[in-house]
Amino acid sequence: MATPQALIALINGRVLADHGPQDGLAVLMRGERIEAITHANDPRVASAKTHDLRGRLLVPGFIDVQVNGGGGVLFNAEPTVDALRTIGAAHRKFGTTGFLPTLITDTAEIMHKALDAVDAAIEQGVPGVLGIHLEGPFLATARKGIHDAKLFRLPDADDIAAITRHRRGVVMLTLAVEEVPLDTIRQLSEAGVIVVAGHTAADYTTTRAALDAGVCGFTHLYNAMTPLGSREPGVVGAALDDPHSWCGLIADGHHVHPVALRVAIAAKARGKSVLVTDAMPPVGSDSPEYVLNGQTIIVRDGICQSDAGVLAGSALDMATGVRNLVNMVGLPLAEASRMASSYPAAWLGLDRTQGRLVAGQRADFAVLDDGLVTRETWVGGVRYEV
């Protein structure tokens, strides 16, 4: 007979509930789940093992759908379970409790290794791994960004079989909607793949048709896509006009101007703007350098750029992104937090189990100080030092 799991109470904190920060609450958890959000004087608190939050802010753990690397590791260079452990540990320092390891354009062999590594990591219980994000190789040369266009191609039957095979986690796929046939987009979507548009030179009409065929979101809105124009709305116009799709936004102050961030967030239906990092190996590492596509990328003034000035991912972490949404963009803290937790959970179809501080959800938390700097991270009821 299994030993009953102990009841743990998180006390003396400000809890970011659905309607904003609240004092005088306690969070009760048993195992990996939240049992209750209750008043601090609830008799159950007295019988529980307590953890003092020391007046800090308890928010839902952050969920990042675009993580290329961290802790000095690039997923493309090391598509292994050990690499995923390192990347996850690096991002936990900043309150990220769930993430999609992201493989940018690479060979079919590396893509298959990455898919298998993520499956194995989830099977082994590597904290935080929710699935995989394949950013390429089905992209457009005209909007390639830092991707290696020599590896771009159209999906073949083997690709589709590998991507749509039953997986332990979610599969997100970024593609150029003008390059991939609508029937293929529809096939991928109907098989459960989260199909998103990115690195695309499509016009509005083509993008609208792809949305109708199953595209449900946009990778790093504004970047590597056709802009909004007065006569041709482009991909950005399609993204902002569509009420159902999600938009990933990199709030590092370099990829997107704060005004453009405000415009996008205001234009989209509430719940459809999602904070992402597009993080590279320097996040959670002492080294500002990494190698991508044979090029040494050095982070200067917080910007990851090639020698040619091309943005190469970011050095952003989710906690900094939340701070930027509050301080640069002017969002209320509760909404900035939702962009980093409940909204991405909904995009991934995980909102029944993750992304909010309510009974029944996973006990995934970030504990922030008054400067919104992460001081503790909890994943599935397990506390990690930061």
User: C-alpha angle 336/342/348, rounded to 5°?
Assistant: 125
Active site residues: 278
The span from the CA of 60 to the CA of 155, in Å, is: 37
The set of residues, in sequence order, having a beta carbon less than 8 Å from that of 185 and lying 6+ positions away, is 175, 177, 195, 210, 213, 214, 215
Judge whether 63 and 355 are in contact, CB under 8 Å: yes
The span from the CA of 14 to the CA of 17, in Å, is: 9
The CA dihedral of 17, 59, 174, 305, to the nearest 10 degrees, is: 140
The set of residues, in sequence order, having a beta carbon less than 8 Å from that of 294 and lying 6+ positions away, is none
Cα distances from 4 to residues 1, 7, 31, 77, 265, in angstroms, run 9, 9, 9, 43, 45
